Amino acid sequence: MTLKTSIAFYPCAENRAASVLRVGSDTSCKDDRSLESCNGPLPHPGPYRVKFLILDTNGSKAETRWSQQIMLKQGNPGRTGKGLLAL
């Protein structure tokens, strides 16, 4: 599990196109070993497989199938000089 969040972050609306969850977008927690979960940068290009799982206090409510294998591409270093891995 990489990210715990509230349903409030993903409200349902008839006219809403889609919600986006960017894997690895939380760079502030990547070195904090005290955190139970972190959506930090991924350590290597993969391969990775992902699934979405919905839980509540009683356990699993719904989940997707595992994705096909995903290889990440190395981003170009920006102004900070750090390369990023991206889907």
pLDDT for 73-86, tens place per residue?
876 666 555 555 55
pLDDT for 14-72, tens place per residue?
655 556 667 777 888 878 878 777 778 888 889 999 888 877 778 878 889 999 999 98
The amino acid occupying position 78 is G
> Which pTM does this prediction carry?
0.54
pLDDT of residue 84: 54
CB 70 within 8 A of CB 50: yes
The amino acid occupying position 56 is D
pLDDT of residue 5: 66
Q: Domain limits of the chain?
A: 1-9+21-80
63 token code pair: 């989940």
CB 83 within 8 A of CB 74: yes
Residues 6+ apart with CB under 8 A from 24: 39, 40, 41, 42, 84, 85, 86
DSSP state at residue 16 = -
